[in-house]
Structure 1
């Protein structure tokens, strides 16, 4: 993988980050991350599990070998997707069966999709580095969306408009973790669904959607509609392949989100 663009290799339960992109959480982490070729990061809670060093794998958690999904992650280190090795930018989707099992456990079978008109969204097997978001976190997007976002951002700058990425790709496990933590606090599923999309139904899972903000504006607030940044997006975003997914009175019953834009190829 040396010499290739920075990418996130995605397996069902573990992400493989290139070294140098994650923030150290301790002195031990800092020393390990500084030398890492890859970092194995649990998707559910962001825990750093191990680093791939030139001399071998260094565990960062006890009982690493018991970690669910470890074998698939190690296979991805040893043999990254053939289309990446060949320099081809084709993106494949991860299977949905594991997600469907967990949705069933939450009582969210097909009824939620039927009620909202939303479909389950698969995760890509790899994502492209698209710079950093407002909070200096790495921004991961589908490779086509990453390229389009770069063009969109630069065109806005030429017109004197600053667009800030708030968030891009989010995993199924990340969204499931939100649900599990709120359930543990005693909230019911329907109550959680009033403020959080059901896991698997967010466009962010695809890497094709991102939330956009403007300097000095709070993130993901309807007030973004009144900014020069939004006015520019309204007039220009479609020319770069981006559309606003959830306008007012959208058929999915999702609140108006002027900050949420999705790239659609072709």
Structure 2
């Protein structure tokens, strides 16, 4: 078990290959039992593969939420991440804590029958997940929005500037894990679809910009999410004129070289320095 941190996570999500460590006050309570435990907790360990809450950490100790917690895969890595956060709490920077390795993802892709030919054909590279993310507010559905620290600052500045011009921007989604996308594939395969059929509507796991914590799907009230009709809104017109000044670019215009459908709602934070780290 870890040495308990002197400071709670507050606005930081710590990310490991198999487990995420969330600030407890950003999570939805799923049962009365959860409510009792989470009420006094500052950190919750969440399994990435299925979203299951594994343990709650409070000033009094670690409270298991599953049986067999000590045998949970990836637990030691999660405790290590929490201890590193405690050691660096005062100078913690969510953009400088590195990226998670890709080897486990590559093994799972090969098991699905996805090889390097996909990246070669599309011109897309595998995208590593950040080891930590910053709380960037809530999305349209009141879910926590996680981005890298610099992308979170960029989004908040972009949204505030739009509001001053009478434009309301909503986040539809931000960071998504490899596990999230892999789960989509695995469920569709179980229903009898082929990999080729799934790839016509879903990006291959690991190749989405959302894994980076620097991509946002953006909407506006009254407009359905992730629809081409977004391009006819005042919000899109405003983004076209102003987003670049805040470090954001539209990743997939019409006839883009990756063969991805036109996505006027999808924007990526390059930043204001040396062209970003895409």
The reply to whether TM is greater than 0.5 is yes
Secondary structure at the residue paired with 2:124?
Answer: coil
4+ runs deviating over 3 angstroms: 81-85
1:21 to 7, 14, 26: 26
Aligned-residue CA RMSD (Å): 1.4
Residue number in structure 1 paired with 2:120: 114
Between stretches 50-59 and 144-153, larger displacement belongs to 50-59
Residue deviations 1:52-84 (CA, integer Å, cap 9, x gap): 122221111222222211111122223328655
Provide the rounded CA distance (Å) in 2 between the counterparts of 1:107 and 1:254: 21
Residue number in structure 1 paired with 2:77: 72
1:164 maps onto 2:200 in alignment: no
Provide the rounded CA distance (Å) in 1 between the counterparts of 2:92 and 2:112: 40
Q: Is the Cα contact below 8 Å between 2:10 and 2:23 reproduced in 1?
A: no
1:143 to 125, 149, 158: 149
Aligned counterparts, 1:32-47, within 5 A: 32-47=37-52
State the 1:44 CA deviation.
1.5
Secondary structure at the residue paired with 2:26?
Answer: coil
Q: Is the Cα contact below 8 Å between 2:8 and 2:42 reproduced in 1?
A: no
1:255 maps onto 2:261 in alignment: yes
Residue deviations 1:226-245 (CA, integer Å, cap 9, x gap): 10000000110001000000
Secondary structure at the residue paired with 1:216?
Answer: coil
Residues paired across the two proteins, number: 266
1:246 maps onto 2:252 in alignment: yes
Residue number in structure 2 paired with 1:193: 199
Residue number in structure 1 paired with 2:53: 48
TM-score w.r.t. the length of structure 1 is 0.96
**Structure 1: 5+ residue runs without aligned partners?**
none
Q: Is the Cα contact below 8 Å between 2:124 and 2:207 reproduced in 1?
A: yes
